Structure 1
Amino acid sequence: MLGSLLLLWAGLLLLYFLWKTRRPKNFPPGPQPFPIFGNLLQLNLKNPMKDFEKLSKRYGKVYSVYFGGKPVVLLHGLQSVKEALMTRGVEFGGRPQGLLVNDINENKGVIIVNYGPSWKEQRRFAMSTLRNFGLGKLSMEERILEETSHLNSYIDKSAGQCLDPQTLFHNALSNVICAIMFGSHYNYEDQSFQSLIRMITENTKIINGPWGMLYDTIPLIRSLPLPFQKIFENRDKVKAFFQAKVTEHKETRVPGKPRDMIDCYLNEIDKRGNDGSSFDDGFMMVFLMDLFVAGTDTSSTTLRVGLLQLMMHPDVQARCQQEIDTVLGERKQVCYEDRHRMPYVQAVIHEVQRYGSVVPLSVFHATTQDTQVLGYSIPKGTMIIPNLSSVLYEEGQWKFPHDFNPSNFLNKEGEFVKPEAFVPFSLGPRMCLGEALARMELFLFFVTLLRRFQFHWPQDGGEPDLTPHFGIIQGPRPYRLGVRLRGRQSG
């Protein structure tokens, strides 16, 4: 009797799952999902990019899979990504809800928060404040160049040796965003600074890993004492770090005379009063954490991708250095305007971003209303994954789609050009709000480093493994960076 009841119960569950995962009329096609796991068992979760490529070849530029019982639509290639994120940017401008990243951020901040009044307020504030603090102007340039000076001094001490670029560039880019947010600069060995970076890095790994996927797929396990609980412990410690900075600013600020991002946010809270807006201490904590993570991980990873490629292509490195020497001459310092006279350096930096595809699947989107893309019907609330890598490597859009080649950004006259398919910062209303900052950072860091140092693969470094480590932020596997002062041979 009990066995029959169990079989009946299992059968009902299977029927319920099959009904729940039945694709609606005119919904994008895709593989048949399995009970409980959906299509997850058909994907290599360590790096599903090749699987996504195969699915696109079979089902088209817009197709669907199931994460557990949830349908997910993937956009492949420039046409579908552009139509969804630009032409229908508001309709595809939401964020999926009920995931680990939502719970970490408590549905606040500026990156993960869903499309609506709160997001609009926070994004508008972030954009205007970054502009007012000199995004693209001299003051921001000075902040970045100050950090490049610290970085050069640190590398000088290790010239002729090998460095760990992951820690080094993470420190440097974190310091830039710290200067913007709360006016602080940290020594690279500072313990509180290293602890902050370590906790955020650990959280990123959990979100990227299998425990993050299980959290998102099986809600019943979320309260269990499993490894993903560490992410909330780290989150609370990071919030405490930023809370201490806010408390200090409240005691020392002069209203109306902001020194940094925290002062600007506090001024905004004062200005809004009790108008029912999203500006309060709780939103500010998540806002600051969003900026710190977004302003550190992508740019530092892009620098690591770039130097790895320059070590693999010493001819490209030498040509960059020749152009830098010609343009700068005896001048002590580069400036951002110099980029207009360095077409090859510009092409190399953009090729690093294209080939590295540091954010391969963008930040996941969701539909804010019933809509469509390439003729398919997409219901409101559907999770959308724009495959940015498929655009950055799309055949027909690039001269050398599968190779690292700066010629992808040069015309026949050797002038810098930027094809439409260059989308590392995504497109539309949700595109990366720190794009201008990132572009300035990458140019100033690359030029400053290449002007002073020669980078080479260490003799005892073994065979380079160029297979990327997949994740929300995709980067090269750990490697050591050989450094020499230019014009001087070191052992």
Structure 2
Amino acid sequence: MSGTAALIQEVQSAGLYVFDVILALSTAQKIMIVVALPFLYSIVWQLLYSLRNDRVPLVFYWIPWLGSAIPYGMQPYEFFAQCQQKYGDCFSFLLLGKVMTVYLGPKGHEFILNAKLNDVSAEEAYTHLTTPVFGKGVIYDCPNWKLMEQKKFAKVALTKDSFIKYVPLIREEVLNYVNSDSQFRGNKGKVNVLKSQPEITIFTASRTLLGEEVRNMLNTGFAKLYSDLDKGFTPINFVFPNLPLPSYKRRDEAHNIISSTYMKLINKRKQENDIQDRDLVDALMKNSTYKDGTAMTEREIANLLIGVLMGGQHTSASTSSWFLLHLGERPDLQEELYNEIKSVLGDRKEVTYEDLQHLPLVNNTIKETLRLHMPLHSIFRKVMNPLQVPDSKMIVPKGHYVLVSPGFAMTNEKYFPNANTFEPHRWDVSQNAGSSDSDTVDYGFGTISKGVSSPYLPFGGGRHRCIGEQFAYTQLGTILVTFIQTFKWTSKLPKVDYSSMVTLPEEPAEIEWERRAE
């Protein structure tokens, strides 16, 4: 018998012996072994991983698969700070079975947001979360070049001429809401901003972007459908896109009803040859042909309309909630804003797009709110090819994920003194919030800066930079001006709720308001 054959026989004998020993154990002992094996395997795997000098340091964890999900999910910025102190700006952690490589700070922004398209993919990272909500064939459920084309199609509704038309419509919607909603009855009262602001932002966005016909649908229970869709953006949806749960069923039903309704509107306009320049629906019907000659289907146009309306919903709802809550603790800033608005508008009540450009404190209040409360605390990409960490020998393997957190940098003392203090006047003296890199690039939806090495990136960067930045300032600015003109209010600032995909205030998130004297 050869040495190899003898070794094999010994291993087999040892295996049979171990198997016999296990069979002889009691049921309780067998259960303990089954439970312990994943933990043992996890610890051994982490030990072997830590011995490799070509891997990013991994945060130790005890619970298999779950990894560091609890500390990250509850307080991501605190978790990042603790890891940074131990490992530096670049480290990895396990999140629900996925290895996430984090690179904090401006160098991380550059590394991940400007990574080559072949090396990292937002589509692969997000499609299982976004496709059930937005639908097939749009946003992250299509090749990247199509997404860039879709941004170009949608950008026709995001021009200066459009914004000039939008401002009076936004103001009208806000006034209609605060003069009719039950939370604003009388001359004083209390309002839950987690109810009021999502409704105000979806009413104003639908009226401006999708037109009066779509806006009127929201008065017939349509808004509730969007709320059901909105609940599809949670951490559990990110990991498990389809589960037999009531919230998933409501999400899918809401998508089907909204998409079908938009398709009926599209087909109605097509049959009646009623395609003008009223709204984004008309714009997409007139121009949604890709550069390869294929046209978006009616279903895809309907799905893109859902994506456009919801794309800014989280951002504006969250940001307007936060600036109302912060200003509730700063009556002095409310009066300063009121006086600034009066100095520009005079005796006029109606604000215009041009007025918004001459209200620096209004814009800086929005800017400061976005600094303290970037709606998305983490931005993910899936690694498609082995990715080398700059100035190191460390490699992020294919199949892992990379994570960048501009919100962490924006609340860091290294970049912003008194970082946890809400102070819009910090922006009075222009800081270098942009990049020194003046190079620009056009990914298909218009020219943007290539530079992402700034610590201030509330709208992301690179090819996936949000195209709605100017719309957000127009919408939020008009909302803020209208509130300041109409109310005075107080509040107690709540803690941040990180349990959803958006950094929302914890309940109760209320302001106590009283109407200003006419």
**Global fold match (TM > 0.5):** yes
Cα separation, 1, equivalents of 2:92 and 2:513? 46
1:162-208 Cα distance to aligned partner (Å, 9 max, x none)? 2233332222221232231244364698242332233123323xx24
Are 2:502 and 1:468 equivalent residues in the alignment?
no
C-alpha spacing 1:106/1:197, structure 2 compared with 1 (3 Å): closer
Which residue number in structure 2 is paired with residue 428 of structure 1? Answer: 462
Cα separation, 2, equivalents of 1:423 and 1:409? 15
Are 2:460 and 1:443 equivalent residues in the alignment?
no
**Is the contact made by 1:38 and 1:65 (CA closer than 8 Å) also made in structure 2?**
no
Q: In the alignment, which of 294, 308, 313 is matched to residue 291 of structure 1?
A: 308
Which residue number in structure 2 is paired with residue 461 of structure 1? Answer: none
Q: What amino acid sits opposite 2:255 in the alignment?
A: R
Which stretch of the first structure deviates more once superposed, 98-107 or 71-80?
A: 98-107
Q: CA deviation at 1:299?
A: 0.5
Cα separation, 2, equivalents of 1:386 and 1:295? 20
1:253-293 Cα distance to aligned partner (Å, 9 max, x none)? 435x3432222222235x569x5647223432332221121
Are 2:511 and 1:481 equivalent residues in the alignment?
yes
Q: CA deviation at 1:393?
A: 0.8
Q: CA deviation at 1:109?
A: 5.4
**Is the contact made by 2:168 and 2:351 (CA closer than 8 Å) also made in structure 1?**
no
Cα separation, 2, equivalents of 1:214 and 1:397? 33
Cα separation, 2, equivalents of 1:341 and 1:287? 34
Q: In the alignment, which of 397, 408, 412 is matched to residue 390 of structure 1?
A: 408
Which residue number in structure 1 is paired with residue 488 of structure 2? Answer: 454
C-alpha spacing 1:98/1:434, structure 2 compared with 1 (3 Å): closer
Which stretch of the first structure deviates more once superposed, 230-239 or 181-190?
A: 181-190
Q: CA deviation at 1:325?
A: 1.4
Cα separation, 2, equivalents of 1:189 and 1:288? 14
| SS of corresponding position for 1:341 | coil
Which residue number in structure 2 is paired with residue 331 of structure 1? Answer: 348
Q: CA deviation at 1:296?
A: 1.8
Which residue number in structure 2 is paired with residue 122 of structure 1? Answer: 150
| SS of corresponding position for 1:242 | helix
**Is the contact made by 1:77 and 1:394 (CA closer than 8 Å) also made in structure 2?**
no
Which stretch of the first structure deviates more once superposed, 79-88 or 429-438?
A: 79-88
Identity across aligned pairs (percent)?
18
Which stretch of the first structure deviates more once superposed, 61-70 or 188-197?
A: 188-197
Cα separation, 2, equivalents of 1:280 and 1:188? 23
Cα separation, 2, equivalents of 1:472 and 1:212? 10
Q: CA deviation at 1:472?
A: 1.6
| SS of corresponding position for 2:213 | coil
Which residue number in structure 2 is paired with residue 250 of structure 1? Answer: 270
Please give the residue correspondences for 1:348-363 in structure 2 after superposition, counting only pairs within 5 Å.
348-362=365-379
Cα separation, 1, equivalents of 2:214 and 2:251? 26
Cα separation, 2, equivalents of 1:234 and 1:54? 41
Which stretch of the first structure deviates more once superposed, 78-87 or 438-447?
A: 78-87
Cα separation, 1, equivalents of 2:42 and 2:411? 40
Which residue number in structure 1 is paired with residue 228 of structure 2? Answer: 199
Q: CA deviation at 1:338?
A: 2.6
Please give the residue correspondences for 1:49-448 in structure 2 after superposition, counting only pairs within 5 Å.
49-86=77-114, 91-92=119-120, 94-97=122-125, 100-105=128-133, 108=136, 110-113=138-141, 116-127=144-155, 129-131=156-158, 134-135=161-162, 137-151=163-177, 153-154=179-180, 157-179=185-207, 180-184=209-213, 186=215, 190-204=219-233, 207-208=234-235, 211-212=236-237, 215=240, 228-255=248-275, 257-269=276-288, 277=294, 279-362=296-379, 364-375=380-391, 376-411=394-429, 418=433, 420-448=454-482
**Is the contact made by 2:486 and 2:516 (CA closer than 8 Å) also made in structure 1?**
yes
Residue segments in structure 2 that go unaligned for 5+ positions in a row: 1-18, 24-29, 435-453
Cα separation, 1, equivalents of 2:44 and 2:134? 32
Residue segments in structure 1 that go unaligned for 5+ positions in a row: 217-221, 458-463
Cα separation, 2, equivalents of 1:360 and 1:427? 14
Cα separation, 2, equivalents of 1:342 and 1:465? 25
Which residue number in structure 2 is paired with residue 27 of structure 1? Answer: 55
Cα separation, 1, equivalents of 2:251 and 2:59? 33
Q: CA deviation at 1:390?
A: 0.8
C-alpha spacing 1:99/1:290, structure 2 compared with 1 (3 Å): closer
Which residue number in structure 2 is paired with residue 460 of structure 1? Answer: none
**Is the contact made by 1:109 and 1:119 (CA closer than 8 Å) also made in structure 2?**
no
TM-score w.r.t. length of structure 2 = 0.77
Cα separation, 1, equivalents of 2:63 and 2:180? 54
Q: CA deviation at 1:86?
A: 3.6
**Is the contact made by 1:177 and 1:291 (CA closer than 8 Å) also made in structure 2?**
no
**Is the contact made by 1:27 and 1:377 (CA closer than 8 Å) also made in structure 2?**
yes
Matched residue count: 464
Q: What amino acid sits opposite 2:428 in the alignment?
A: L
Cα separation, 2, equivalents of 1:89 and 1:134? 33
**Is the contact made by 2:66 and 2:94 (CA closer than 8 Å) also made in structure 1?**
yes
**Is the contact made by 2:42 and 2:64 (CA closer than 8 Å) also made in structure 1?**
no
Cα separation, 2, equivalents of 1:238 and 1:34? 44
1:317-365 Cα distance to aligned partner (Å, 9 max, x none)? 1111121112221123222333443322222221111112222224x22
Q: What amino acid sits opposite 1:370 in the alignment?
A: P
C-alpha spacing 1:294/1:213, structure 2 compared with 1 (3 Å): closer
C-alpha spacing 1:281/1:34, structure 2 compared with 1 (3 Å): farther
Q: What amino acid sits opposite 1:486 in the alignment?
A: R
C-alpha spacing 1:10/1:416, structure 2 compared with 1 (3 Å): closer
**Is the contact made by 2:326 and 2:493 (CA closer than 8 Å) also made in structure 1?**
no
